[in-house]
Copies of this chain bind each other. A is one copy, B any other.
Amino acid sequence: MSSDAPGFELPLRLFLGFRVLIDDLHAELARQGHPDVRPMHGFVFQAIGAEGTTAAELGRRLGISKQAAGKTVDALERLGYLRREADPGDARRKVVRLTERGLDCLARSARIFDELRARWAEVLGADRLRALEADLRRVTPAEAFRLDIPGWFGGP
């Protein structure tokens, strides 16, 4: 059908939707006492989880090198969201854990994402939104989120 949207609109809208949600999340996060958290940090918190991990494992989960993961941990540690602790059972490992502040940010993010989703549900209708999510699940891989955006987008 010639009335169909041009193919390039689809990726544009998908990214715009992603960006709007993330921007809204961080605007609200800033209002709630976390003004210095960046979009990528949320994914890092999610990958660390409540139990904590090591830098090397974090790199694997996020699809980046352990060195890059280490740098990110450095930054978040300086901001007070993460803490490195020595592993009693393995002298090589240093377990990265979320601090009180990190856990607070993670919990607030989850709540705000739910609120943003509810707002979309108001606009689109709950059934349409569920259908949208279901459709997206069918065309996207099960892979984890990869954090190599900068290199992926512009990289060599």
Contacts and interface: CB of A to CB of B under 8 A. Distances in A.
- Interface residues of A, dominant DSSP: helix
Contacts of A10: 17, 21, 113, 116-117, 120, 133
A36 to B, nearest CB: 9
A11 B6 contact: no
Number of copies: 2
A13 B113 CA distance: 13
Interface of A: 1, 4-22, 25, 38-40, 46, 109-110, 112-118, 120, 123-124, 126, 128-133, 135-141, 143, 145-146, 149-150, 152-155
Given A4-B117, A40-B154, A149-B149, 15 more contacts: A4-B130, A7-B117, A8-B46, A10-B133, A11-B21, A13-B136, A14-B14, A17-B136, A17-B139, A17-B140, A38-B155, A124-B135, A131-B131, A132-B135, A150-B150
